[in-house]
Amino acid sequence: MKVTDHIKGAKSTLFSFEILPPLKGKSIQSIYDGIDPLMEFKPKFVNVTYHREEFIYKERENGLLEKIAIRKRPGTVGICAAIMNRYDVDAVPHLICGGFSKEETENALIDLQFLGIDNVLALRGDSIKTESNFRPHKYGHQFAQQLIEQVVEMNSGTYLMDDIQLEPTDFCIGAAGYPEKHFEAMNLNFDLENLKKKVDAGAEYVVTQMFFDNQKYFDFVKACRAIGITVPIIPGLKPIKSMNHISFLPKFFHIDYPEALSKELLKCKSNADVAQVGIEWGIQQSKELNAAGVPCIHYYTMSNSVSVKAIAKEIF
Ligand code: FAD
């Protein structure tokens, strides 16, 4: 079932979460162990991230360095199929532009359709670690907007190389939004206009980057509505879990902690202290969002369902 249909049919705020494929070589059990504790809150859909290749350099016998592409977290599509099969819940694979030609994207979408997957979250993806800027595949897409356009084309039965109409796919397409602005965008308005292009191209809902100040989400929704973005905007929340997160999350995701949260974090002496602050903050944020009637609250587990469970217990 499509994410938008889940939202339309909901009588109250929905619960959903995102998981990461395990590191290569780990079994699917680690995924189930993360999902099992959250099933009691009846998620309507579970997102599975996509991780593109990284490049490493290996020294050859002759002393020269060989550039090798590796993927540390493969398995997005397989995990989606396994989740749907085991839990009877909708899985939302993330689909990215980076590393994909248009043809590879088309084939990936055909695989998803055959598996009975109705949803995709269409993203550009970040640059790989060895590149300073995002570089699209030679035959791929530069922006998520173009990826969305490709999915919309397939939804109308138009495939890449064929001049005849083929069987249309029927994917519900989500896109990413950034209450605190995407880090590359010149300013928030420019970023909002680009979000509108994604929605105009066919994105049917937006999921936000994590934020820790609800006011930023409320302002973002207001600004989106003001420029004509009318689709549901699902807030994404991340419970802070460890001392490392205190600096890692703002650095990696380009977000700020509000003063009141940073004051609490400064008092923490251990990972356990931080996790407790993360849970309490997450409960506070979720209660307010829930009271505001948001369509769904989407939690970034980042392989930590313990904190998400503690928060969900208070809300759902
Ligand atoms: P875009 O919408 O293409 O935007 C990228 C930048 O280009 C922005 O600064 C935007 O303002 C600008 N822009 C967009 N369109 C145009 C245009 N037409 N003309 C000029 N400028 C434009 N990354 C992964 O690799 N795997 C994942 O699974 C993953 N999951 C995510 C889930 C969520 C909910 C979010 C919020 C992010 C996720 N990311 C993931 C990270 C995401 O890929 C990065 O943030 C990436 O840098 C931008 O992706 P986007 O889809 O927002 O890109």
Residues with Cβ within 8 Å of residue 35, at least 6 apart in sequence: 19, 46, 83, 87, 305
pLDDT digits (tens, 9 = 90+) for 252-285: 999 999 999 999 999 999 999 999 999 999 999 9
54 confidence band (pLDDT: 50, 70, 90): confident
Tokens of 209: 């980057």
Tell the residue number behind the tokens 């999915």, with chain if given: 151
Distance from Cα 244 to the centre of ligand 1, integer Å: 24
Residue 218 has phi, psi (to 5 degrees) of: -60, -40
Maximum Cα interatomic distance, the chain, rounded to a whole number of Å: 66
5 lines ligand 1 (CB under 6 A): no
What is residue 247's predicted lDDT score, i.e. its pLDDT?
A: 96
pTM for the whole structure: 0.96
User: For 123, what's the count of Cα atoms within 13 Å in the CB-facing half-sphere?
Assistant: 26
Q: How far is CA 290 from CA 208, 237, 296, 301, in A?
A: 16, 12, 8, 19
* DSSP 8-state symbol, 72: S
Whole-number Å distance between alpha carbons of 303 and 20: 7
**Residue whose CA is at the smallest distance from ligand 1 atom 9:** 185
292 confidence band (pLDDT: 50, 70, 90): very high
pLDDT digits (tens, 9 = 90+) for 220-250: 999 999 999 999 999 999 999 999 999 999 9
Q: How far is CA 61 from CA 58, 65, 66, 68, 278, in A?
A: 10, 9, 10, 15, 49
181 lines ligand 1 (CB under 6 A): no
128 lines ligand 1 (CB under 6 A): no
Domain residue extents for the chain:
3-315
pLDDT surpassing 90 at residue 300: yes
Confirm if 13 and 290 have CB atoms less than 8 A apart.
yes
On whether the 3-315 domain is CATH 3.20.190.10, my answer is no
Choose which residue among 72, 124, 187 to substitute to test ligand 1 binding: the one with the highest number of ligand atoms within 8 A of its C-beta: 124
Tokens of 187: 């300013």
pLDDT surpassing 90 at residue 110: yes
Q: Where do the H-state alpha helices sit in the chain?
A: 3-8, 29-35, 76-87, 102-114, 144-155, 188-201, 214-226, 243-253, 259-266, 271-291, 305-315
